[in-house]
Amino acid sequence: MLDFCFTIPYGLLLVVGGVIGYAKKGSIASLAGGAGTGLLLVLAGFLSLQAYHKRKNSYFALILETAIAALLTWVMTQRYLQTSKIMPAGMVAGISFLMTGFYLYKIANGGNHIPPKSD
Residue 115 has pLDDT above 80, yes or no: yes
> Is 34 contained in some domain?
yes
Tell me: the pLDDT tens digits for 20-38?
A: 999 999 989 889 999 999 9
Number of domains in the chain: 1
Number of CB atoms found within 10 A of residue 63's CB: 13
What is the model's pLDDT at position 117? 81
Domain residue limits at 86: 3-108
Kindly report the length of the chain: 119
Please report the pLDDT score of residue 92 as a whole number. Answer: 96
Provide the mean pLDDT of the chain.
95
Q: Note whether residue 114 is domain-resident.
A: no
- CA 92/CA 48 separation, integer angstroms: 22
Position 86 in a domain = yes
For residue 41, the surrounding DSSP H or E stretch is helix 36-53
Give a yes or no: residue 98 inside a domain.
Answer: yes
Q: What are phi and psi of 46, to 5 degrees?
A: -65, -40
In this structure, is residue 117 part of a structural domain? no
